[in-house]
Amino acid sequence: MALNPYLPQPARILKRRQESDTVFTLRLRFEDVGLRARYRFAPGQFNMVYLLGVGEVPISIVSDPELDGVFDHTIRCVGRVTEGLASLHEGECVGIRGPYGRGWPLSEAQGRDLLVITGGLGCAPVVSVIHYAIRHRRRFGKLTIIQGVKHSDDMIYRDQYQAWSQVPNTEVHVAANAVRGAWPWHVGPVTELIAQAEPDPERTVVMMCGPEGMMLAAARMLMDKGLPDTALFLSLERNMQCGIGHCGHCQIGGQFVCRDGPVFNFAQVRSWFGVRGF
Ligand SMILES: Cc1cc2nc3c(=O)[nH]c(=O)nc-3n(C[C@H](O)[C@H](O)[C@H](O)COP(=O)(O)OP(=O)(O)OC[C@H]3O[C@@H](n4cnc5c(N)ncnc54)[C@H](O)[C@@H]3O)c2cc1C
Ligand code: FES
């Protein structure tokens, strides 16, 4: 019998890691052994995470899609549900529906250079694709990761960024507008790093997430460097309720972010950027 798409399935917290004052990562595993074995996701997809008795929120899956039987969510506390999730301990359960949405265009990106650009906790939707590209390094050309944060204190996954920079044919560039303490990377806005990048317009696929203003500025700079809008992919965030294309809460133009996205190419959504109400 098919599962009711509105029914969250219990998943237990195996590990909880505090990434910064307001950001934490949960490693989860379904209680149901059959579901555990069947559950597969693509980089860029999300789950609806249900805090019992409080509510449900869409959260990207950040782990390597080939990790066996477990998956990770990195969550920033901003309100009712995320603050409640932050107070859970290892061994407690949440409800999960998913995976939902369309992820990054991995088959289109095969054999091409990847340029990954993220801002703030916007890194969550691309972390899984970075894990994937690193695990299958030979399937892709040059991998360049550009990450921007407002303040160096906001920089999570520092060890991972250091480790990724050691992988062959991979560059990691990080920028912070303001810094405290030792900071080995660039000081200034992330757009300064994008201005310095020299992606090959014929070979490069760009994957971006973060604040929409940053993605719009980045898209314009990359098109000035000769990249077509069809090679620029963005992960969008909208208020969601159902997560499966039924309620209309996440509509952008004629599309639903939960069902048709969250990853779109810029050509599909550029006319809605900056338009009030979208
Ligand atoms: C596809 C998708 C993937 C996401 N992935 C992640 C992730 O990996 N990690 C993560 O921490 N968050 C992620 N989010 C955002 C997350 O869903 C929201 O932060 C969450 O719904 C807030 O719920 P809350 O009950 O804690 O806050 P609420 O009490 O609902 O809201 C608190 C404040 O946050 C604002 N807010 C709520 N939702 C959003 C939103 N989607 N965008 C901008 N502002 C919002 C509200 O306006 C309000 O000011 C994702 C959202 C989408 C659509
Ligand atoms: S959240 Fe209901 S249609 Fe997208």
If asked whether residues 142 and 218 sit together in one domain, one would say yes
Do 242 and 137 have their domain in common? yes
Q: Which ligand is nearest to the CA of 82?
A: 1
Q: What percent of the chain has pLDDT over 70?
A: 96
Q: How far apart are CA 35 and CA 32, in angstroms?
A: 5
- Residue 162: the pLDDT is 87
Structure tokens at 17: 């890691």
Range of the domain at 28: 9-100
The pLDDT value given to residue 224: 96
| Per-residue tokens: 35 | 């579901």
Q: Do the beta carbons of residue 152 and residue 179 sit within 8 Å?
A: yes
Residue 278's pLDDT is what?
Answer: 62
Query: Which of these, 244, 262, 267, 16, lies nearest to 128 by C-alpha position?
Result: 262
Kindly state whether residue 171 falls inside one of the protein's structural domains.
yes
pLDDT at position 124: 83
Place of tokens 């449900």: 56
The mean of the pLDDT values for the chain is 92
* CA pair distance 52, 76, nearest whole angstrom: 18
CA distances from 64 to 111, 191, 255 (A): 20, 28, 28
In a domain, 123, yes or no: yes
Do 69 and 84 belong to one domain? yes
Of 41, 75, 100, the residue that ends a domain is 100
**144-164 per-position pLDDT tens digit:** 999 999 998 888 888 888 899
Residue 131 inside a domain? The answer is: yes
Look at residue 4 and tell me if it is in a domain. Answer: no
- Judgement on whether residues 18 and 87 belong to the same structural domain of the protein: yes
Place of tokens 């599962």: 3
**DSSP summary character for residue 154:** G
Q: What is the pLDDT of residue 4?
A: 79
Q: Is residue 23 domain-shared with residue 117, that is, in the same domain? A: no
Q: What is the mean pLDDT of residues 75-98?
A: 96
Q: How far is the CA of 214 from the centre of ligand 1 (A)?
A: 18
What CATH number should be reported for the domain holding residue 41? 2.40.30.10
Return the ligand number nearest the Cα of 156.
1
Indicate whether 170 and 223 sit together in one domain.
yes
User: Per the structure, how many domains does the chain have?
Assistant: 2
Tell me, yes or no, whether 133 and 62 share the same domain.
no
Of the residues 56, 75, 100, which one is the last residue of a structural domain? 100
Does residue 3 sit within a domain?
no
- What's the pLDDT score for residue 121? 67
**What gap in Å lies between CA 249 and CA 258, rounded to an integer?**
9
Do 33 and 122 lie in one domain? The reply is: no
Domain identity same for 95 and 117: no
Residue-wise over 225-244: b if at least 16 C-beta within 10 A, else e? eebeeebbbbbbbeebebbb
Cα–Cα distance measured from residue 63 to residue 44, given in angstroms and rounded to the nearest whole number: 10
pLDDT in tens, 237-275: 999 999 999 999 999 888 999 999 999 999 988 887 766
85 lines ligand 1 (CB under 6 A): no
CATH number at residue 257: 3.40.50.80
pLDDT for 196 equals 93
What was the pLDDT predicted at 240? 94
pLDDT at residue number 277:
63
Residues 111, 96, single domain; the answer is no
Chain segment 200-245, per-residue pLDDT in tens = 999 999 999 998 889 999 999 999 999 999 999 999 999 999 999 9
Residue in the structure block whose two tokens are 């301990």: 89
Q: Is 25 in the pocket of ligand 1 (CB under 6 A)?
A: no
Q: Distance (Å, rounded) from C-alpha 66 to C-alpha 150?
A: 32
Q: Which of 37, 72, 100 is the last residue of a domain?
A: 100
pLDDT confidence of residue 132: 92
Examine residue 180 and state whether it is found in any structural domain, yes or no. yes
Is residue 245 domain-shared with residue 261, that is, in the same domain? yes
38-62 pLDDT per residue, tens: 999 999 999 999 999 999 999 999 9
Q: Is the CB of 59 under 6 A from ligand 1?
A: yes
Residues 249, 155 within the same domain: yes
Mean pLDDT on 84-112: 96
Listed in sequence order, the residues at least 6 apart from 112 whose beta carbon sits closer than 8 Å to its beta carbon are 140, 141, 203, 204, 205
How large is the average pLDDT for residues 103-119?
94
Measured from the Cα of 258, ligand 2's closest atom is 4
